Amino acid sequence: MSQFIVLFRRHVTIQSVLDTVLWLAVAIPVLILFLYGTPHERGFLCDDPSLSFPYKTPTLSTSSLLIVSAIVPLLVVFFIEVVNCIDKKCRSQFFTSGMVLYIVNMYAIFLVGFIIQQGVVEVIKSRMGVLRPNFFDVCKPHFNVSLCPGYITKYTCTGSDLMEIRDSRLSFPSGHSSLAMYIAVFFCVYIDDRLQIINSNILKPFLQSGLVFIAVLCGVDRIMDNKHHPSDVVAGFVLGVVVGLAVYYKIARNVLPVNETPDKSDKHVIRAREARESRVSRDCYTYDESQEMEPQSPLPLLQHENLDDTNPEKNGTVSTQMFLDTPFKARRHFSTPITPTFKSEDGI
């Protein structure tokens, strides 16, 4: 037994180290591309109104979004597990080693999806080099005005902030919208699978709607802050939805015990059983479902030896069929013989 435990721990350690190395192998290039990548320098129309919006301080900065995206997943997972325990009225210990390991694994899988979607966003941004709506105000391009109207490819940015000039060429797709929608979709599916609450029918849709609403609000703020075109935000939403669903169903569902019975058609059975258990025991004791089984029909009565359907007058008794064909169809115990009376010709 001890040898098995040692081998299991060694396997878990090797798997953890390998997964961490693979994650860093993808995360480090994505971080370098995000900080120091050189975007494609695209030209513009000198009278393009979509690039003439003024520069605004962003409502939600990149650093703030990263902090929120690191904290929200932990809060969501912790909240769901606490609500599940409260709803089941369990008095057992909640913060167990298994629960801590579960939260860590869920967060690690979330980080995998975060790196995937961020890597896709950064590669597309650098390769396409779509200009932001505030490009003219940030870049202040100097070019030959005599070429207007026309497409300008040779120009020089005279703006003072080099980081903002570089960032003004990274409009498509919206990274903020993609990350926000990825978080919303990933945990909407997680809530739908993991949260098994009986005492409320609207808590689950409220939580899911709140996550989606915050993600949509984040994309709208990027448009209002003149950071993205509407098409950039829509593309970010689509990317976040695709990555969120793919990571959850292809990785999280295969690794984490999110739900004992993931089949949606069986959820009403689970809720009904938990409702019965909560009425019988509020301390999460074991419960025998056979206690509430429908009563079985009684065994059929043994036929009386004097009853014979083929001969109604055998041994002075009346057959079952003859008895049931009486005008009132009254029910009597079949074992009680009924002696028929016959009238003679004289009426006696």
**Extents of the domains making up the chain:** 1-36, 40-279
CATH class of 40-279: mainly alpha
Phi and psi, residue 177, nearest 5°:
-65, -40
From 142, 176, 268, 304, the catalytic residue: 176
How many Å apart are CA 90 and CA 319, to the nearest integer?
61
**Bridge partners for 142 per DSSP:** 156
Mean pLDDT of the chain: 76
pLDDT digits (tens, 9 = 90+) for 269-317: 455 455 445 444 444 433 444 444 444 444 444 454 444 444 544 444 4
Q: Are 188 and 182 in contact (CB under 8 A)?
A: no
Q: Are 241 and 181 in contact (CB under 8 A)?
A: yes
With residue 142 as reference, give the H or E element that holds it. strand 141-142
Q: How confident is the model at residue 257 (pLDDT cuts 50, 70, 90)?
A: low
Q: How confident is the model at residue 100 (pLDDT cuts 50, 70, 90)?
A: confident
pLDDT of residue 5: 64
**Bridge partners for 45 per DSSP:** 151
Q: Are 165 and 126 in contact (CB under 8 A)?
A: no
Active site residue 176: yes
pLDDT of residue 132: 95
Q: How confident is the model at residue 99 (pLDDT cuts 50, 70, 90)?
A: confident
pLDDT of residue 281: 42
Q: How is residue 321 written in tokens?
A: 């069929």
pLDDT at 116 over 60: yes
Q: How confident is the model at residue 105 (pLDDT cuts 50, 70, 90)?
A: confident
Phi and psi, residue 152, nearest 5°:
-95, 125
In the chain, which ranges are continuous DSSP H helix? 2-36, 62-87, 97-128, 135-139, 162-167, 175-194, 203-224, 230-247, 253-255, 267-280, 320-324
Rounded to whole angstroms, what are the CA distances from 182 to 32, 65, 179, 305?
Answer: 22, 13, 5, 77
How many Å apart are CA 161 and CA 163, to the nearest integer?
6
- Of residues 154, 185, 168, the one with CA closest to residue 53: 168
Active site residue 228: yes
**Bridge partners for 44 per DSSP:** 152
pLDDT of residue 263: 43
Q: How confident is the model at residue 122 (pLDDT cuts 50, 70, 90)?
A: very high
**Which residue matches tokens 């997943």?**
73
How many Å apart are CA 163 and CA 294, to the nearest integer?
73
pLDDT of residue 287: 41
pLDDT of residue 274: 53
How many Å apart are CA 58 and CA 64, to the nearest integer?
11
pLDDT of residue 262: 40
- For the ranges 44-48, 103-107, 112-116, the lowest mean pLDDT is seen at 103-107
pLDDT at 8 over 70: no
**Bridge partners for 141 per DSSP:** 157
Within 10 angstroms of residue 130's Cβ, the number of other Cβ atoms is: 20
Q: How confident is the model at residue 330 (pLDDT cuts 50, 70, 90)?
A: very low
Which is more confident, 195 or 32?
32
Q: How confident is the model at residue 266 (pLDDT cuts 50, 70, 90)?
A: very low
Which is more confident, 302 or 41?
41
pLDDT of residue 88: 63
Question: For the CA atoms of 304, 307, 309, 311, what is the dihedral angle to 10 degrees?
Answer: 150
pLDDT of residue 11: 66
Q: How is residue 272 written in tokens?
A: 């009904």
pLDDT of residue 337: 53
From 40, 228, 229, 268, the catalytic residue: 228
pLDDT of residue 72: 87
